[in-house]
A and B are shown apart, each in its own frame.
Chain A
Amino acid sequence: MLKRTLASSGAAVFAVVAAIASAHAEDAYVIGVTGALTGPSSSTNGPPIEGLRLYVDRLNASGGINSKKIQLSILDDQAEPSKAAANAKRLLTQDNVSLLILSSLSSTYAPVVAESKRANVPLMFMGAVCPKEVYPPAEALQFCTTAYAGGYDSRATLAFVKATAKEPVKLGLVAMAIPLSRGEIDYAEQHAKTMAMTTVDKEVIPPPTPDYTPFATKLKDANVTWVFSWAPWVTEVKTFEALRRLGWQDNYIAWSHIEAESELARLKDNKLYVIGANSLFQDRLPVHAEIADAVKKANVRYPAEQMTEGWIGGLVLEAALKKVGWPADAGKMRTALESVSVDTKGLRGGPLQWSKDNHFRTRQYYRVYRWDDAKSAIVQAQDWTPYDVQ
């Protein structure tokens, strides 16, 4: 009696879900994507997926790869671990994808990695921070195309600060109160010691903060001459703005997230630096024009300069599929990814190369940009600086 309804309603819903999920593409490469298209982290993770879709649509329009189309199965995980796990399961077991792409908050990694291992299908992080597992010696199934990565970012930033600063640096560090950002900033603090820089203040700021001034006050009172922030863009920029409002006039360097280009132009501040591994659209490379053109045609919700991450993901996917041939399976895909070498056409400082035990890239390049009042434009503060990944 008690459960009769459950039976009927449950069965009905399952039937609906089953009917819709069983739509299959017969004659195409099926690639699974799960990511935070929407939800709290969508402004970071949404654009890469859009960029990838844009790239793949263009590929399909020009005949696909090996004369087969690519079908992207995109599922939204809303940055929720449970949804990401369910998505991964669905893509792996129902759509039988040969590659899983993830662009979401770091808290979704663990369940998706677990699913990918269970199904023995490679997993590519794109537009979401690279986990340690892709550094050499890399885990067999995990790959990462994302620009930012713990450890190397801090090293490159601190080296730039050291080289640029004339007098001894009094360093301030800013993190958001999420485990990932805190971990990296703690690492930066350690690393600053070895570079003979003194860290005078470290602020860990909870994400929904009504007023950043109290945190900025502490930084200012500590007389910091350089501030380094490696956190989601909100925290980076709001702390900066609060510092400026307090009348603090020194240098601030932040990770160059996808919003960076428009934000530099909005803030117009000579001493705000952004460091990153992607070139900005103001460089006006042919590839930038190509992306802007594609964005214009496809009517995308995000501006063209946020498409870089997804575009690079698309380049890697294209290169891998060319090697895989037809038909594709997870095993072939893995072998193909292990020897991928992609010309990034200037979107990055150099080619993106993977090897058997390095699924991050053999060499990571960093470039620093800032706003220049005299030219009223964004300029390079430091050109590509390579770091070998070992």
Chain B
Amino acid sequence: MQLIVNIIVLAAMYALLACGYVLIYRVSRVMNMAHGELSMLGAYLLFATATLFAHHPVSAIAVAVLMSILAGVLVYVMLMRRMTGEMVLAAILTTIAIGILLRGLIVLIWSAAQQHPLQSLGFTNPSLEVFGGARISTCAALIVLMNVLVYGSLFAFLRFGRWGVRMRAAGQNPLLAAQRGINLHAIYALAWALSTLTGSIAGMLIALDSGLDQSMVVIGLKAFAPALVGGLDSLLGALVGALIVASAEVLAIHYVDPLLSDVVPFLVLIAMLTVRPWGLFGTREELDRV
């Protein structure tokens, strides 16, 4: 039982992080390697606001969320906007460079020590008993819940929302979309904002659950495997990919060797890349477009 709960929690973490990769890639064909850092930034912003608004956890969270959205938009407007139409490698490298810069700045501002935003907010994280004697921490449960919420609203937004439809159009054919009067830069900025928002929520919740330090970056990087396994341009793929990678990881820890948990996501990824490079739910033609 506990095993299933563990898989679901880990999958939820991966899925929440992975959808950020998908959102940006789907719209602008840019692989955002700074996603881990941006998520971490969100978590640190929460830590900062939590100490600032010591007795108003709600306003602290709200301000942190707003600031992280702003960070995403800023990254696009100031840097990524200039990279539109450049080589893939150049765009990827720019995001890597942004990541390095962010990591440096974060250490400069908050130092590399382990932080506990949960305490600063004045919350506790008791564990809840779910079915069959399995237990889950409140924050982990929140992560699962938030996943349902985020994916639900994203699906609805892309299907029915006015801007959602525009986003899909921009992703499918930027030229035609632009000719129909869709403001591509606004769409791209929106994608960056949404991606940073979901990433930051994931970062904040993981930080609340188990503390905050630089290792958040690597977690963000690991979530990149599920995004690719599912197919980089499919939200549903990210969800399924997260479930596959998380199961593989948890089962490897439990039945094979805990040491493997580090490599398992990448092994799954390699297997997928050799069999079906465009991922489970990805579009095949994507391959030639990169």
> Taking the complex as a whole, does A directly touch B, i.e. does some CB pair lie under 8 Å apart?
yes
Within 8 A of A (CB), among B123-151: 125, 127, 129, 135, 137, 140
* Cβ contact within 8 Å between A211 and B9: yes
Number of A residues with CB within 8 Å of any CB on chain B? 38
Distance in angstroms from A71 CB to nearest chain B CB is 26
**Distance, CA A220 to CA B116, complexed state (A):** 25
Given A38-B107, A247-B135, are A208 and B222 neighbors across the interface (CB < 8 Å)?
yes
Given A43-B112, A207-B215, A238-B211, are A214 and B107 neighbors across the interface (CB < 8 Å)?
no
Chain A residue at minimum C-beta to C-beta distance from B211:
A238
* Cβ contact within 8 Å between A211 and B13: yes
**Distance, CA A326 to CA B113, complexed state (A):** 40
Q: Kindly count the residue-residue contacts between A and B in the assembled complex, taking CB atoms under 8 Å apart.
A: 92
Chain A residue at minimum C-beta to C-beta distance from B5:
A213
**Distance, CA A160 to CA B250, complexed state (A):** 33
* Cβ contact within 8 Å between B211 and A213: no
**Distance, CA A205 to CA B253, complexed state (A):** 9
**Distance, CA A204 to CA B259, complexed state (A):** 6
Contact size range, B: 35 or more
* Cβ contact within 8 Å between B112 and A245: no
What A residues does B116 contact at CB under 8 A? 266
What B residues does A217 contact at CB under 8 A? 2-3, 6, 254
Distance in angstroms from B180 CB to nearest chain A CB is 41
Taken residue by residue from 284 to 325, chain A's Cβ proximity to chain B (1 for < 8 Å, 0 otherwise) reads as 000000000000000001100000000000000000000000
* Cβ contact within 8 Å between B206 and A210: yes
Contact of B153 with A by CB under 8 A: no
19 extra interface residue pairs, beta carbon distance < 8 Å, beyond A241-B210, A245-B125: A43-B213, A204-B259, A205-B258, A208-B217, A208-B218, A208-B219, A211-B6, A211-B9, A211-B140, A213-B9, A217-B2, A220-B2, A221-B2, A234-B114, A237-B211, A238-B210, A238-B211, A242-B210, A302-B113
Could you tell me which B residues sit within 8 Å of A by CB distance? 2-3, 6, 9-10, 13-14, 107, 111-114, 116, 119, 125, 127, 129, 135, 137, 140, 206, 210-211, 213-215, 217-219, 222, 249-250, 253-254, 258-259, 261-262
Considering the complex of A and B, which 8 residue pairs feature the smallest CB-CB distances, nearest first?
A208-B218, A206-B262, A208-B215, A245-B127, A210-B219, A214-B253, A245-B137, A43-B113
Cβ contacts A to B, 14 pairs, < 8 Å: A39-B112, A40-B112, A42-B112, A46-B112, A205-B258, A208-B219, A209-B261, A211-B6, A211-B13, A220-B2, A234-B114, A237-B211, A246-B127, A247-B135
